Structure 1
Amino acid sequence: MKKLFLIVGMLGMLSGSAQQNVKSANADARQLKKAERREKINQLIKQEEEGALIFQKQSAFGFKFNTDAWSMFYEHGKYKTINKTNLWWLELGERKDRKEEKVPTLSASQGFLVISSYIYGKRNNFYYLKGGLGQQLLIGGKGNKNGVAVSAIYGGGFSAGLLKPYYIEIQNPSTNAREQIKYDVTNESLFLDPSIIIGKGGLTKGFNEIQFVPGAHARAALRFDYGRYNEVLSAMEVGINAEYYSKTMPILLLNKERKFFFNAYIALVFGKRK
């Protein structure tokens, strides 16, 4: 009987010792993981103090001043390495023909003088919606928090061209009535006669007649991030953009219609990083 108690006691001691060893091993593993996390955080803090942009993702809005009009965009980035970020973006804008000129007009309506304007020979408003994928590559870090980070951005994607007929208001010489007309081969003489044009048509006129033209685009740019804090994205971007559509885009009469468009731009970008 004594031997039995002795054996049971020894087994209990061995079991307790084994459990203690397991607990000790688990504690050591947890401490090792904590130490590794601390080291990683310390490295990130050091890199950030040296001017590196450290984040998991970024979101930004921007406004572009293009050589052929304007656009605005939303951009989302996901951090891959210290030097590389994957991007996707959506952009909405308008493209104009470089030869467009506003013509001022003065007319009478219900006893009042009305000042207006129109673009002579304009056939369509050309809007576009673009979506793309690309990358942002860090060329030079800030050096310190007050420095400027320089990145190269490139990518491309789809482009949805949207053609809205451009309406003008005229005083029809045949009926002496005011009419809003768009260009058509049957009314070309009226559409191009400046002596009867009163001004441009209503703002919403033609939206129910928009034509969709599919295309593709590509862009390349340099971005200068001057934000004081790494969590804040404040940058200026200088770049070029190219677009190609499946058919010619008629914008201005008496001018060559094109499928390919190329422009340069300056953009102001604002956002945040996490």
Structure 2
Amino acid sequence: MKKILLLSLGIILTTLAWSQTQPAAGKKDKKAEKKDRINALLKMEEEGEMIFNKHNIFGIKLNTDGWGISFEKGKFQTPRKTRLLQFEFNEKKHPKEDKDAGSIDLFTGNVNQFIFGKTNNFYQLKGGYGQQYLIGGKSNKNGVAVTALWAGGVSLGFEKPYYVDVEDLVTQERTRVKFEDVEDLFQYQYLGASGFTVGWDEVELNPGAHLKTALRFDYGRFNEAVAAIEAGLNIEFYSREVVQMIQNDPKRMFFNAYVTVLFGKRK
């Protein structure tokens, strides 16, 4: 009986020890497989072979005259050349925009702000085609790939009237006004901007075109993942002049520099 008990105990302990070592071994195998795959991809890239077919990339952009978000689809044509299809949504700010304090919210204590003299919010929805060219590839998984690119296409501008909440200093009446409709700027006490949702029923479309050129620095640890910074120049031209601020000349052509943080995947 003792022999049976000892034999059973030995089998149980052996099974437990084996089960505890298996996950660790499995993790090591997965790490080794991933490392081998990365090394194989790097070798293929050095030999000029096609490694990936396409990529999908999202971006958050900071312009010298605003901000934007983007999405890009890329189709690899050769190891050094990629065809691009890009979509962007941007808001363009006027260089003389400056936020002023309006009224104070008695419940939250927040100050309601507004931009004195602003007439329109100017948004752009862009679609473009371009090419990307590899200048220098990664020498290892921790390197940086440098590419040059250009893209151009259509740009649909949206001019949304900018409203502010005001109180008439004579009648004490509260209402919403546009700065371009105010004859006496000292007639009101300005309480704050009316908000993002106000004015969309009065949006005017302004079609145009855009062209950009840039350098992209991909510092992603592995080639399957895109983690990059893009810096470039952009020019836009619209069918009619855009009015953004009162007492300032409207413009049709806009020129800016930008930096975009990019992230995505290659397949």
- 1:209 matched to which residue of 2? 202
TM-score by length of 2: 0.80
CA distance in 2, matches of 1:194, 1:50: 73
Runs (5+) with no aligned partner, structure 1: 1-41
Query: Is the CA contact 1:86–1:136 (under 8 Å) kept in the aligned structure 2?
Result: yes
Query: Is the CA contact 2:48–2:79 (under 8 Å) kept in the aligned structure 1?
Result: no
Query: Is the CA contact 1:64–1:265 (under 8 Å) kept in the aligned structure 2?
Result: yes
Structure 1 residue aligned with 2:255, among 246, 262, 273?
Answer: 262
* Change beyond 3 A, Cα 1:194–1:89: farther
Larger Rg: 1
TM-score by length of 1: 0.78
Structure 1 residue aligned with 2:58, among 44, 57, 61?
Answer: 61
CA distance in 1, matches of 2:50, 2:141: 10
Structure 2 residue aligned with 1:142, among 138, 158, 169?
Answer: 138
- Please list the CA deviations of residues 90-146 of structure 1 after superposition, one character each: whole Å capped at 9, or x if unmatched: 00010000110000123577x996621110000000011000000000011112221
Residue type of the partner of 2:133? L
Residues 1-274 of structure 1 mapped to structure 2, 5 A cutoff = 46-48=43-45, 54-107=51-104, 115-185=111-181, 187-189=182-184, 192-193=185-186, 196-274=189-267
Deviation at 1:175, TM superposition (A): 3.1
% identity of equivalent residues: 47
Query: Is the CA contact 2:148–2:215 (under 8 Å) kept in the aligned structure 1?
Result: yes
Query: Is the CA contact 1:86–1:134 (under 8 Å) kept in the aligned structure 2?
Result: yes
Deviation larger for 169-178 or 84-93: 169-178
CA distance in 1, matches of 2:143, 2:83: 23
Secondary structure of 2:201's counterpart equals helix
CA distance in 1, matches of 2:224, 2:47: 15
Deviation at 1:44, TM superposition (A): 6.2
* Change beyond 3 A, Cα 1:138–1:113: closer
Q: How many residues align?
A: 229
Deviation at 1:173, TM superposition (A): 3.3
Query: Is the CA contact 1:51–1:144 (under 8 Å) kept in the aligned structure 2?
Result: no
Residue type of the partner of 1:267? T
Residue type of the partner of 1:214? P
Runs (5+) with no aligned partner, structure 2: 1-38
